[in-house]
Structure 1
Amino acid sequence: MNLSEKNFNKIFTVFLCLIAILMIFRKPCSILIIVFGVFNLIFIRKLKFTKTALILMVCISSPILLEILLFWNNDSYLKGLKALEKSTSLVLFPIFIIGNYQRIDFLKITQIYYSITTVVMLFFLIRFNLIYPELISKYAGGIDLFEIGYKFSDSVGMHAPALNMHLAFVSVCALYFVFYSFMKNEKPILKMLRFVVFLLSFFFVLFVNTRIALIGAFIGFIVVLYFAVESKFNIKQIAITSVTILVLMGGILFLFVQKNPYMKEKYSTVTFAYMDKVGKLDEIDHPEIKVFNSLVTRVSIWKSAWELSLKNLPFGVGASNGKPALNKYYAATNQHFLAKYEFPTHNQFLDFLLKFGILGPIVALLYMFTIAYLGYDLKNGIILSFFIIFFISNLTDDFLLRFDGIAFSGFWSSVFAGFWLQQKAILYKDQGAG
């Protein structure tokens, strides 16, 4: 098939933008990823790999490579294959994105991604108000405010912590381009539009209202601000922009807390309640009401996962056996509340320790810190913020079990790696010319 280089680059960029935007919709995104793979197989001769690219590909593919290495440890090979299938994007993305690294238009992809995703969320918010007026009336009356974010996320088709992890990254990208618009001295109307999109994106993080994602977003904002100051571009203008953003964010946060007083309770007493009941949740009256999402439940799960992991060193229980083995352990240790709701590990490092033994957390750290290295080396606030958001999200959840974590991180890791290779190639070329 004949396709000019210019048209191939355009189609490749469209694929990357669409995959990024559709990442919050599993089925259409999965179909698009398959089409993307077929497209690249047709033009496989365009792929180019350096030794450094191959190292990055191995780092990004390391979770699925670990599953293959320890595949023999699964009780059921059929279930083991099913577990592998969920991680195939960790092979596909590195090959087809890093192999086309010279074609990655990083700024265009991130701009289109955060802008359209924010508009999509606005559409779903309007839809939520129209389709569920009874819920809106209930929340307006101050009833069951704890469930707003989860109900909204359900209407989108995602689990709230996963959706908000995505939205936290969207908001960080939006803030980055607010500073970018001033650095590039864009037209006032475009600057204003970027402000509005950022504030909207921040509102959605608040609306879904999951603790870890909100913390990650705030840390990401600080990182982006730090690199804006580090750029030494018009410090006065950066300061004025930062103060304006801070005031507007503070206003949104104040109004949101006023309308949702449960937020104060959620981030204080609810989070840290019953910490003396770690491993003894059944002693709490109605734990499903009082501590379902509290830290004490997470710590109880982690304690069980840690104890079970130590019993199964050095190779773990197997990729497909992690959750069943943990559920059996809850029952064996008379933790009936945890057994009833079959809680997963809620910590990616413990999850990999349980499944894969000693190599598990090492591979999880390699996978995540590859992103950190790319961001640090490029001095790029977007990439470093992604690492922070994904890393801390996996301290209280296990996103390498789910499509919305596996594909999300695999896609952006590959884009970041491709962008890093591209910048290094430009640097070497300039040095050679010099």
Structure 2
Amino acid sequence: MKISEKNFNKTFHVFLCLIATAMIFRKPCSLLIILFAVFNLIFFKKLKYTKTSLLLMACIGSPVLLELLLFWNNDSFAKGLKAIEKSTSLIIFPLFIIGNYQRVNFLKLVKTYVILTTLIVLFFFIRFNVIYPELMNKYLNGIHLWEMGYQFAMSIGIHAPALNMHLAFVSVCALYFVFESFHNQEKVKFKIFYGIIFLLSFFFVLFVNTRMALINVLIGFLLVFFFEIRSKFNLKKIVLAAITIVVLLGGILYLFVQKDPYMKEKYSTVSFAYMDKVGKLDEIDHPEAKVFNSLVTRVSIWKSAWELSLKNLPFGVGASDGKPELNKYYKATNQKFLAKYEFPTHNQFLDFLLKFGILGPLVVVLYIFMIGYLGYDLKNAIILSFFLIFFTSNLIDDFLLRFDGIAFSGFWFSVFGSYWLQQKLLVVNS
């Protein structure tokens, strides 16, 4: 089958845009990934690799390679295969995206992703108000404020922390394009459009209201400001832009806190309550109501995961047996609350330590910090912000267990790697 270079590049770019935008919808995105793989297999002769790109691909695929290396440690062959199946996108994306790295239009892809994702979430927000008016009425009247973000995420079909991890990245990228529109002296209507997209994306981060995402998005804004903007604007414009953004964000935050007083409680007393009860959650009266999402529950889980990991060094319990073994340990140590709800590790480093032993956290460090290296080497705030978001999210959660974390990170890691290879090629040719 023949296709012109121009048409191949267009189709390739459309696939990337569709996959990036569909990432919050597991089934449609999975289908797109399969079609993307088939498309590239048909035109496999267009794939090109170098020694550097192969090393980069090995870094992206390292979690899958680790699972294959220690596959023998699984108690169940079928469950071991299922664990690997969840991570196949870490092979597909580097194989076909980095194999076509010269065709990746980084900024155009990110811009399309930001605009489409924000508009799609806006559609679901309007839909949420129409279908669940009683929930919005409760929210506006200050009733059960803690549940709103989770209910909204569930209406889309995704876990709230995962949705907000995506939205935090979208919001940081949106701010970048606001500044770019001023730097490139685009028409006023485009500046206004990017400004609206940015404010909407930040509004959604606040609405879903998960703690780590809010912290990450604010730090991401600072990274965009200092890494990208200081080299493109004079001091006067920087100060004016900073004041404008601070006033806008401060105003939005103030309105949210006024309407959602639970935010103050959530980010202070709720988060850090009962820290003297680590490993003793059953001593708390009704822990489901008081500490289900608190730090003390996370620390109690981490304590159990650490203890169990030490008992199973050097190779861990196996990729498919991490959660079942942890649940058994909860019961064995008489932690009824943790056993009842079968909490996973909620920390990717500990999760891989438990499953794979000593090699586990080393692979997580390689995987995540390589993204940070790409951002640092390119002095790129978008990539550095992604690294920060994904790294901190995996300190309190385990996103390399689920599609929304595996595919999300594998896709963007491959895109960032392609952009890095392009820049290195420019340096060599200059």
**Contact 1:75/1:318 (8 A) holds in 2:** yes
Deviates more, 1:192-201 or 1:309-318: 192-201
**Contact 1:101/1:419 (8 A) holds in 2:** yes
- Tell me the equivalent position of 1:364: 364
- Tell me the equivalent position of 2:160: 160
Give distance in 1, aligned partners of 2:149 and 2:119: 18
User: Superposition pairs for residues 223-372 of structure 1, below 5 Å?
Assistant: 223-372=223-372
- Tell me the equivalent position of 2:59: 59
Give distance in 1, aligned partners of 2:214 and 2:140: 23
**Contact 2:183/2:232 (8 A) holds in 1:** no
% identical equivalent positions: 74
User: Superposition pairs for residues 26-425 of structure 1, below 5 Å?
Assistant: 26-425=26-425
Give distance in 2, aligned partners of 1:117 and 1:317: 38
Deviates more, 1:230-239 or 1:405-414: 230-239
Give distance in 2, aligned partners of 1:294 and 1:60: 32
Give distance in 1, aligned partners of 2:59 and 2:235: 38
Deviation track 1:375-408 (CA, whole Å, cap 9, x = no partner) reads 0010000000000000000000000000000000
Give distance in 1, aligned partners of 2:65 and 2:212: 29
User: What is the Cα deviation at residue 99 of structure 1?
Assistant: 0.4
- Under a length normalisation based on structure 1, what TM-score does the superposition of the two structures give? 0.98
**Contact 1:372/1:387 (8 A) holds in 2:** yes
User: What is the Cα deviation at residue 143 of structure 1?
Assistant: 1.0
Aligned residue type for 2:375: G
User: What is the Cα deviation at residue 302 of structure 1?
Assistant: 0.1
Give distance in 1, aligned partners of 2:421 and 2:309: 38
Give distance in 2, aligned partners of 1:85 and 1:155: 26
Give distance in 2, aligned partners of 1:234 and 1:48: 42
Cα RMSD (Å):
0.7
Aligned residue type for 1:339: A
User: What is the Cα deviation at residue 186 of structure 1?
Assistant: 1.0
Give distance in 1, aligned partners of 2:334 and 2:345: 17
SS of 1:168 mapped into structure 2 = helix
**Contact 2:230/2:238 (8 A) holds in 1:** no
Give distance in 1, aligned partners of 2:10 and 2:283: 60
**Contact 1:179/1:238 (8 A) holds in 2:** no
Deviation track 1:196-216 (CA, whole Å, cap 9, x = no partner) reads 110110000000000011111
User: What is the Cα deviation at residue 232 of structure 1?
Assistant: 4.5
**Contact 1:89/1:406 (8 A) holds in 2:** yes
**Contact 1:309/1:353 (8 A) holds in 2:** yes
Give distance in 1, aligned partners of 2:347 and 2:403: 16
**Contact 1:15/1:36 (8 A) holds in 2:** yes
Give distance in 2, aligned partners of 1:416 and 1:138: 42
Count of residues in Structure 1 that have an aligned counterpart in Structure 2: 430
Give distance in 1, aligned partners of 2:199 and 2:235: 22
- Under a length normalisation based on structure 2, what TM-score does the superposition of the two structures give? 0.99
Aligned residue type for 1:189: K
User: What is the Cα deviation at residue 231 of structure 1?
Assistant: 1.4
> Post-superposition, which runs of at least 4 consecutive aligned residues in structure 1 deviate over 3 A?
none
**Contact 1:228/1:238 (8 A) holds in 2:** no
User: What is the Cα deviation at residue 182 of structure 1?
Assistant: 1.4
Give distance in 1, aligned partners of 2:218 and 2:174: 13
Deviation track 1:65-99 (CA, whole Å, cap 9, x = no partner) reads 00000000000010000000000000000000000
Unpaired runs of 5+ residues, structure 2, are none
**Contact 1:279/1:300 (8 A) holds in 2:** yes
Give distance in 2, aligned partners of 1:426 and 1:228: 20
Unpaired runs of 5+ residues, structure 1, are none
Deviation track 1:270-289 (CA, whole Å, cap 9, x = no partner) reads 00000000000000000000
Aligned residue type for 2:317: V
**Contact 2:118/2:197 (8 A) holds in 1:** yes
Give distance in 2, aligned partners of 1:302 and 1:343: 10
Give distance in 2, aligned partners of 1:266 and 1:103: 45
**Contact 1:177/1:194 (8 A) holds in 2:** yes
Give distance in 2, aligned partners of 1:219 and 1:314: 37
SS of 2:396 mapped into structure 1 = coil
User: What is the Cα deviation at residue 136 of structure 1?
Assistant: 1.4
User: What is the Cα deviation at residue 139 of structure 1?
Assistant: 1.7
Give distance in 1, aligned partners of 2:34 and 2:239: 45
Aligned residue type for 1:391: F
SS of 2:271 mapped into structure 1 = helix
Give distance in 2, aligned partners of 1:56 and 1:183: 32
- Tell me the equivalent position of 1:5: 5
Deviates more, 1:48-57 or 1:236-245: 236-245
Aligned residue type for 1:231: S
Give distance in 1, aligned partners of 2:193 and 2:87: 37
SS of 1:99 mapped into structure 2 = helix
